[in-house]
Structure 1
Amino acid sequence: MAQGKRIAVFSMTPLFPEMVMGGGQAQLKKVALHLGELGHKLTILSTRREDSQAPFRWHENVEILPCLRFKQPYPEPYFTPLYHIANAMRAVGAAIDAADVHYSHDGGLIFPYVYQRKPTVISLRSIIYPETMQCAFLFQGDAWILPSEHTRDSYHAAVAPFAPAVSERMQAIHNGFDWDFFQYTPPKGIFEVIPRRLSEHPILLFPHRPEAAKGIYEVVQIARKLVYERDWRDLRVLVPRWLDADTAPANRDYYAKLRQTIHEAALDDIFYFHDWINEVHIAEYYSLADATLCIGSCVETFGNTVFESLGCGAPVIAARVATYRDLLPDEHIHRVDYGDMDAATDIADDLLRARQRAPAATLAYLRDNFSLEKMVARYADVIVNARKLPPLHYQVPRLDENTRYRLAPWCYVSAGRGIFHDFRSDYAQNKALLRIAEAKPDGFAGADVDAKSLYTWLDEGYVVPMPRHDSEGLPK
């Protein structure tokens, strides 16, 4: 092959030699290792923590420098002294200047002037964190990778009216997985983290970080129904404790409130908290479960948990929120409307009684459609072949009588419940909005509805204006 390229990578999130803090970092490691194997040399600048300060390597061609002094723990990384921000920009800028191409993973680098001199690929993996959304509205990269169609369509709806040409730089690349690793694995090493006796109980997993939107309080409700209405007295719900559970004030408060809620629900014996699970044991962890719960209101941009759990044979119950609505066909996942605790309890009860693993057809579908090899190859193609493009032109869009509107991509029509709004986590029972959303899914003219209603829908994010060229569609 031709001489390898020098690639400067930015990671707002801390990185570790073995452990990962979330799905985004897991994907970065996979992409970085693939690029390293191809002969490219990566320098990854990441945020420093007390437990991640010394440089290390994932591969002989992949060096990680934990030198950036953004605030820890997350969120609000820019809530740090201004000299830390200045030093970080200097360090990142110097690394980019010494490289052939820049890759920014998971957002956070909100200053375009730092990267605009070199071909730049930006992957945004959130649509809820402020610094990631700032990256979107200030985007001046040459390629923009999103992990799902829902995320791509959402950013397009928000940003394209200001930068119409941005759609030409956007593409969705699904996360991929090593299905030889994420498969049923007889539990053994996991018992170094949790007691072996737990394997004798029916088990539900809640393998998520400490955010209420991930659905832990919904899980408490379901567990109470299962225990006291369905007589699952021996049920156990496993909950990993975040790395900063004892040191970060916000996390201490989170777990204190959660334990109090569990106590008030008379479920102290049902919930079991344990240390965070590292990569080595995660497949065994999923393999322990009778089902995994992803029933919160968090607006996920992909949701690795669903796929990892299914790969290891544990069925998944997921709320119809964001990407969980459509990334998998219905036959491979158990879906409920957000907030429908009765439906979720019924499904959990059935799964606990059946104690069946995910079927072979589901495992085959995952291998065919969410391959690690395909994902890293597509990332490598975009990053290695990135070329410098002219700066995007931004404008202030004007809404007029010719503007057309459509239901926002973060909304969907739920039969019997109304229009669900991902960011509001609730249902609108507005008959006029329901009528036009169902009658004109491809868009409607502003003149089709009264001005007051249109303003309200636009202001609350139920509808979005369509860019003039929207009919051309988005790249796949």
Structure 2
Amino acid sequence: MKILVFSMATIMKDVSMGGSQRHLRELLFYLAKQGHEVTVLTNKRSDNTELFELCTGVRVLPILRFKETFPIPYDTYPFHLAHSYEIICKYAKKHDVFYIHDAQMDYGYLHAGIPTVASLKNFVYPEAMISAFHTNRDRFIVSCHYMYESIKYTVGRVLPGIDEILTVVKNGIDLSVYKPVESDWRERLAIAKDHIVVLFPHRPDISKGIMNTFEVVKRLKSRVKKPIKLLMPKHFDVNVSKETETFYHKLQETAEKYGIHESITYYPWLPGHEMPEIYSIADVTLCIGNFIEAFGYVQIESIACGTPAVVSNVGAQRTIVPEGYHVAKVDYDDIDAAVQAVLSLLEEPVNLEKVHSFLDKTYNYEANLSGYEQLITSRARYKGDLSKSEEQQTSQYKLAPWCYISEKGIYHDYYYKYFEKNKLHNFLASRMDKPFSAEELIEASFTQQDIEHAVEEGIIVPMI
């Protein structure tokens, strides 16, 4: 089958920009292995201008002209947009099916005549959120229950039929790659054997939790006798982006204020298949930011390689790995809890057999790739109307999937903060995840205006 793939984020020949692009690379190799002929349309960058063959059967054409670097890809010239849309329209006519990776393209008229499947890898950036509300695909794939719920209780309020095309295909992890491996990176980075290595393997984005990580490292230095090394990647965007270069310069200045600048060691941004070498030399991995992770590969990659992880109770990180698998969950910005979690995890060796069994069962690599292939190649067309529904009076509500009841209050992923512990917090804490009626809220002294305000602020959602 001739498959056309669109990726707004640039597909590079040797490395991936992040988890979403790495997943796409894995999928492309899989589709080629199954005998499909794949053409990938992606963005041109000054360091990625040549057409290349990713593998036999997969041609990558970096010929679109969106913004070079992340985020805000549509921040470009109108004639570059026109050029890109012409290309997409032209290639759509020559293929059997169109796969839009990580959505972010909202113009259905460009591919109206071809079966279209889209996946959504985040529900944060404007392009991704807007694209979720469009009806320009026949199948819509998300990576986990958190994403499914988030789309159902937002998009589903205006497109009630979204359930008819929305499918969860759980992300997968290749356990033949992500496992403890021998590595000489300690020697290459001059990290002594007695150093405790704290890994922060994220792209340059403050919301990924680098300031919280600095604070954790600062406190760890006064709590443990061994030297601490904070291991971080230097993103390859420094080659084309002054903004990224400035980010790292300011980061170093901040580290000096924290008194931990001598503890930081950088490694180059690596291809995904080389990351187990980095995970394997680390003692603990930190994912303690407030970025709304739609999945969060890092935690499962880390434990697969024998390194425990600390994650904040934000987004999908709340549910991807349950208790008992060497992933400690802490409330966002609770530095004391994060420090204590690190100290506790350092005392407990990772049970690899248990971890790999869980990952193989829950995030099976083959099941993920075959699930995508089946949906993409089915060429099923959606004939219904996503916006059509019978008028129903809503009387049942539940805690919004992007909210979490904490001892600090109601944590709201999208507001990046805790709402104070008021009577709404107490009511929701007593209900836990159970739905409740408007009558129950009114009996608990809430007015109709209170209810409407809680819905408007995204703290509770009407049941659909």
Q: Output the TM-score relative to the length of structure 2.
A: 0.93
Whether 1:329 and 2:326 are equivalent positions in the alignment is no
CA distance in 2, matches of 1:370, 1:40: 24
- Return the offset for 1:402: 4.2
Partner of 1:464: 461
CA contact (8 A) 1:202 1:236 kept: yes
Whether 1:258 and 2:251 are equivalent positions in the alignment is yes
Whether 1:84 and 2:80 are equivalent positions in the alignment is yes
- Return the offset for 1:378: 0.6
Residue of structure 1 aligned with 2:399, choices 407, 429, 434: 407
Partner of 1:224: 218
1:244-323 → structure 2 map (5 Å cutoff):
244-245=237-238, 247-323=240-316
Partner of 2:234: 241
Partner of 2:139: 143
CA contact (8 A) 2:189 2:267 kept: no
Compared CA separation, residues 356 and 430, structure 1 to 2 (3 A): closer
- Return the offset for 1:443: 3.6
Whether 1:367 and 2:360 are equivalent positions in the alignment is yes
- Return the offset for 1:109: 1.0
Matching residue's letter, 2:455: L
Partner of 2:452: 455
Partner of 2:416: 425
Deviations 1:271-308, CA, capped at 9 Å, x for gaps:
11232122342111100000100111110111111111
Deviations 1:196-245, CA, capped at 9 Å, x for gaps:
434541101000001111011000010111112x0445110001111123
CA contact (8 A) 1:162 1:396 kept: no
CA distance in 2, matches of 1:112, 1:432: 45
Whether 1:108 and 2:101 are equivalent positions in the alignment is no
Q: Secondary structure at the match of 1:310?
A: helix
CA distance in 2, matches of 1:231, 1:283: 26
CA distance in 1, matches of 2:267, 2:390: 51
Q: Secondary structure at the match of 2:154?
A: helix
Aligned length: 457
Matching residue's letter, 1:80: T
- Return the offset for 1:409: 0.6
Matching residue's letter, 1:320: N
Compared CA separation, residues 242 and 222, structure 1 to 2 (3 A): same
Matching residue's letter, 1:411: C
Partner of 1:205: 199
CA distance in 1, matches of 2:238, 2:359: 33
Q: Secondary structure at the match of 1:67?
A: strand
Deviations 1:83-113, CA, capped at 9 Å, x for gaps:
1111111111221111111100012111121
Q: Secondary structure at the match of 1:15?
A: coil
Q: Which runs of 5+ in 2 are unaligned?
A: none
CA distance in 1, matches of 2:131, 2:141: 13
CA distance in 1, matches of 2:66, 2:102: 15
- Return the offset for 1:116: 2.5
Partner of 1:128: 124
1:132-171 → structure 2 map (5 Å cutoff):
132-171=128-167
Q: Secondary structure at the match of 2:118?
A: strand
Deviations 1:355-393, CA, capped at 9 Å, x for gaps:
734442112211222121111011111111131122634
Partner of 2:63: 67
Q: Secondary structure at the match of 1:339?
A: coil
Partner of 1:473: none
Deviations 1:35-74, CA, capped at 9 Å, x for gaps:
1111111111011111211111222111111111110211
CA distance in 2, matches of 1:316, 1:24: 20
Residue of structure 1 aligned with 2:383, choices 373, 382, 390: 390
CA contact (8 A) 1:101 1:386 kept: yes
Compared CA separation, residues 279 and 439, structure 1 to 2 (3 A): closer
CA contact (8 A) 2:197 2:231 kept: yes
CA distance in 2, matches of 1:40, 1:401: 47
- Return the offset for 1:442: 1.4
Q: Which runs of 5+ in 1 are unaligned?
A: 471-476
Q: Secondary structure at the match of 1:33?
A: helix
- Return the offset for 1:21: 0.8
1:21-32 → structure 2 map (5 Å cutoff):
21-32=17-28
Partner of 2:168: 172
CA distance in 1, matches of 2:411, 2:108: 35
Whether 1:434 and 2:425 are equivalent positions in the alignment is yes
- Return the offset for 1:428: 1.6
CA distance in 2, matches of 1:382, 1:346: 44
Compared CA separation, residues 306 and 243, structure 1 to 2 (3 A): same
Q: Secondary structure at the match of 1:377?
A: helix
Matching residue's letter, 2:458: G
CA distance in 2, matches of 1:263, 1:7: 50
- Return the offset for 1:349: 2.0
Deviations 1:289-348, CA, capped at 9 Å, x for gaps:
001001111101111111111111111111111111111111111111111111110121
**Bigger mean CA deviation after superposition, 204-213 or 378-387:** 378-387
Compared CA separation, residues 396 and 429, structure 1 to 2 (3 A): farther
Matching residue's letter, 2:289: G
Q: Secondary structure at the match of 1:331?
A: coil
Whether 1:99 and 2:98 are equivalent positions in the alignment is no
Identity %: 29
CA distance in 1, matches of 2:244, 2:437: 45
CA contact (8 A) 2:47 2:240 kept: no
CA distance in 2, matches of 1:320, 1:82: 40
1:336-347 → structure 2 map (5 Å cutoff):
336-347=330-341
